[in-house]
Structure 1
Amino acid sequence: MRASALTPDYAPLPFGRVPDSTDPGARISIPSDAIAQFDAVLHELNPDAPRVDQARLQALAGWLMRLSPQEAHDVLELRLTRIEQLRALLVDPDWDADAAMRARLGKLLSYFDRAEDLIADSTPALGLLDDVLMFELAWPVFEAEAVEYGDFCDYRASEHPGGDAPAQRAAWLNDRLAELALLRHHARVHDSHYADVHVPDTTFRVVW
């Protein structure tokens, strides 16, 4: 399927760097049991995610605090927008995510909806950092579904397929498969054009 607006197109958060003990930006302190709960939720969603600990959170918070206000806003807003797009995926009656995907999305969104989570949303500058971190580290589990849903939304908006939800999804899938078949056909024609070139054995004589 085609890439969509749901696919993150920005640099990843610099999560994982151990902070310098002299780093003046690393000013966050969170109870270890709260971090353990955050990490447990994350790994229920994405077992392959990196572990979250105090040192890494300090480093990430320090990095965010050193950005300009506009840069920090953009870092958060880009990811918060993606979160709302995932919410749209879950509630769209025309989309048919399976039960397991819906359950994972529900768990992810329920974390975002807590006012008092790892970092309280009311915390100045850093209140939404844990939300965007959860989104980013859990994203690989949702990426394929999100890309397909985004492409379906693009198709629905541009082609206006008729019928009920299954008919719209079938039209989208059939058209995309037809596009893929056409691309493969063109690739075969292109390859055969070069593969079938025959170099004659006859020696040519130039006549002046």
Structure 2
Amino acid sequence: MPHPTRTAEPLPFERAPPSHHHQPYEPAMVLRPAAIAAFDALVHEIHPDAARVDADRLERLAGWLAQLPPAQARHAIDTRLRCLQDLRAMAADPAWDCDSATRRRLQRLFAYVDQGEDLIDDRVPLLGLLDDVLLIELTWPAFAAEAEDYRDFRAYLQVEHPAGDAGEQRAAWVRDRLAELALLQHHARVSDSHYANGRTPEPVFRVT
């Protein structure tokens, strides 16, 4: 996929492999055009650069998931739902001040996933969660950078145990990470520089 994803193996959404079954998904999984259009609009409200969602892509993706061994299909679903839990933890953490735009996007994501009857009814076995995990996957780039920063912040707290309240702890994280970045940039400049006024020194002996 042309955008970053949370997992090492992205869902084959844009180019899902063709199904070899005439009925690759549950009959109860009805894909209504109006619901697909609303889902696509929500995806692009959260992440405007996401791939477009249409019936053909959804049906191919459902067929791909239905053909997987049960354990592999469950893994594909569960790994993305764990990403959702990471986002929930970030949004609920008082030590992490998401900006208002990001928080609104997160609220739209959570609101969709938390409703039972959406694009695909959650009561449909396994495939009922396909729209939820697809929403997480397609909108992940809108949250990827902040989620990565948040994971680093939590790791920093566990290792460094900075003193102070939530604001002071986050300020300490920012200060230390900026110091590390400055040191890396300094080392890079030293490695790229040349001595002797920027010129390669002449050899001491010359063979003629």
Which TM-score band (shorter chain)?
A: 0.7 to 0.9
Match of 2:146 in 1: 145
Shift of 1:65: 0.8
Letter in structure 1 aligned against 2:8: Y
Structure 1 residue 29: deviation in Å?
Answer: 3.5
Structure 2 equivalent of residue 54 of structure 1: 55
- Secondary structure of the residue aligned to 1:146 is helix
Structure 2 residue aligned with 1:16:
14
What is residue 95 of structure 1 aligned with on the other side?
96
Superposition deviation, residue 24 in structure 1:
3.3
1:74 has 2:71 as partner: no
Please report how far the alpha carbon of residue 30 of structure 1 lies from its aligned counterpart in structure 2 after TM superposition: 1.0
Is structure 2 residue 169 aligned with structure 1 residue 171? Answer: no
User: Structure 2 regions of 5+ residues with no counterpart?
Assistant: none
Whether the 8 Å CA contact 2:16–2:64 is kept in 1: the answer is: no
Which residue does 2:115 correspond to in 1?
A: 114
The superposition leaves residues 62-86 of structure 1 with CA deviations (integer Å, 9 ceiling, x where unpaired) of: 0001111111111111100000100
Asked if 2 retains the 8 angstrom alpha-carbon contact of 1:24 and 1:62, the reply is no
1:89-127 CA-to-partner distances (Å, cap 9, x unmatched) read 111000011111111101111111011111111111201
Q: Cα distance, 1:20 vs. partner?
A: 4.5
Letter in 1 for 2:33: S
Cα gap change, 1:18/1:88 in structure 2, threshold over 3 Å: closer, same or farther?
A: closer
**Structure 2 counterpart of 1:3:** none
Count of matched residue positions in the alignment of Structure 1 and Structure 2: 199
Residue in structure 2 matching 1:203, options 175, 200, 206: 206
| One-letter code aligned to 1:153 | R
Distance across 2 between alignment mates of 1:93 and 1:21:
46
Q: Secondary structure at the match of 2:182?
A: helix
Distance 1:21 1:71 in 2: 17
What RMSD in Å do the two structures reach over aligned CA positions? 2.1
112-121 or 7-16: which moved more?
Answer: 7-16
- Given that 1:115 and 1:121 are in contact with CA atoms closer than 8 Å, whether structure 2 keeps it comes out as yes
TM-score, normalised on structure 2?
0.87
Equivalent pair of 1:119/1:128 in contact (CA under 8 Å): yes
Deviates more, 1:23-32 or 1:130-139: 23-32
Distance in 1 of aligned mates of 2:15 and 2:186 = 47
Letter in 2 for 1:124: P
CA displacement at 1:43 relative to structure 2: 1.2
What is aligned with 1:128? 129
